[in-house]
Amino acid sequence: MISTRLYFGYLIVSSIGVMLCVLVAMAYLTLAERKIMGSIQRRRGPNVIGVYGVFTPLADGLKLLRKENVVPASSNPWLFQISPVLTFSLALIGWTVMPRGYGMVLADVPLGMRFIFAVGSLGVYGIILAGWSSNSKYAFLGALRSTAQMVSYEVSIGFVRVCIFLCSGSMNLSQLVQAQESTWYAVPLLPRRRRFFISALAETNRHPFDLPEDESVLVSGYNVEYSSMGFALFFLGEYTNMILMSGTMTVLFLGGWLPFTMPRLGAVSFSMKVVFFLLLFIWARAAYPRYRYDQLMRLGWKVFLPVSRSWVRRISGFLRVFDGLPS
């Protein structure tokens, strides 16, 4: 009984620690994005609150907490308020199976990647419920755009993951990292990594695929009726999804915590690779113009989907011939 209580206590403390680390990383990711984009565009970023603006995320959070939470009279109040919480919570749940170092994982489940894929798919419900419950045409149109976009690019992301599963022979994330001890999958599967990153931009509604939040057309999209922390939770969920996608790409293509097997050094290696992908997210926002919606759908269904299916056939055929893949 005592050991069981200690085990559950350890899980609770570890979960809270991981959640706090992700929240702090997400808060300062917003600051890093504003500073880096300011540097790229030759202007000053946030530099008023604290040295070099280091306390800006804390001030923004306090400001949003103090604002009034306005619920439209014609909306569905319960669904309207639960939608941002659902979106943010699902973004955090994915970190329960993400290995951050050798043995540093909350739940080392055999189907860890399928769990992340399922949790990511559920994120659509928070957005579509927000658009529908707001009882606003702009919010509903933004929610429909986001749903179609996320569903379209989840297919190509799924096929890329199938390629990784075929190469590693496992869906366990820790075993998938250990399968890359000799060669990271980013080397033989470089085109797959590029398409996964582009699909991740669309999956997280990031520029240049931020059509659900097209200000010139939709007046901020599905979150147009939200204020205070409801508005903030949607963007916290978006940035948390960015970090989760970066961690997923690190595990799938860059060997996770490798080349280090010591937990602390492995965690540092993992974090540096995640930061690399986050910098690519920020750079894409500063460098590329926004796609039209027809171009977005065409890229997903007529380019990425056929190419991803062909790569699955090629890799399975190659492994069948040279590695004895069972039929």
CB atoms within 10 A of CB 299: 19
Please give the tally of structural domains in the chain. Answer: 1
> Nearest 5 degrees, angle CA 171-CA 194-CA 312?
50
pLDDT (mean) for 299-307: 86
String of b and e for 63-79 (b: at least 16 CB within 10 Å)? ebeeeeeebeeebbeee
> Can you give the residue range of the structural domain that contains 94?
72-322
pLDDT higher than threshold 70 for residue 284 = yes
Average pLDDT for the chain: 82
In a domain, residue 264? The reply is: yes
Give the distance, in angstroms, between the CA of residue 47 and the centroid of all CA atoms in the same chain: 28
- Model confidence over 56-111: pLDDT tens digits? 888 888 888 888 788 888 888 888 888 888 888 888 888 888 888 777 787 778 88
Tokens matching residue 36: 């880096």
pLDDT higher than threshold 60 for residue 44 = yes
- Model confidence over 211-222: pLDDT tens digits? 766 666 666 777
Q: 2: exposed, middle or buried (C-beta count within 10 Å: 0-12, 13-18, 19+)? A: exposed
Give the distance, in angstroms, between the CA of residue 97 and the centroid of all CA atoms in the same chain: 14
The predicted pLDDT at position 327 comes to 46
pLDDT higher than threshold 80 for residue 5 = no
pLDDT band at 1 (very low <50, low <70, confident <90, very high): very low
Pick the closest to residue 241 from 114, 121, 102, 145 (CA basis).
121
In a domain, residue 29? The reply is: no
* CA atoms of 237 and 92, how far apart (whole Å): 8
* CA atoms of 143 and 137, how far apart (whole Å): 10
The predicted pLDDT at position 233 comes to 85
pLDDT band at 291 (very low <50, low <70, confident <90, very high): confident
CB atoms within 10 A of CB 325: 14
pLDDT band at 7 (very low <50, low <70, confident <90, very high): low
In a domain, residue 12? The reply is: no
* CA atoms of 241 and 278, how far apart (whole Å): 11
Q: What is the DSSP letter of 136?
A: -
The predicted pLDDT at position 195 comes to 85
In a domain, residue 3? The reply is: no
Q: Which residues contact 132 (CB under 8 A, 6 or more apart)?
A: 76, 79, 140, 143
In a domain, residue 148? The reply is: yes
In a domain, residue 6? The reply is: no
- Model confidence over 182-194: pLDDT tens digits? 888 888 888 888 8
In a domain, residue 293? The reply is: yes
pLDDT band at 208 (very low <50, low <70, confident <90, very high): confident
Does residue 132 contact residue 147 with C-beta atoms inside 8 Å? no
Does residue 57 contact residue 48 with C-beta atoms inside 8 Å? no
pTM over 0.75: yes
DSSP 140-180: HHHHHHHHHHHHHHHHHHHHHHHHHHHHHS---HHHHHHTT
In a domain, residue 112? The reply is: yes
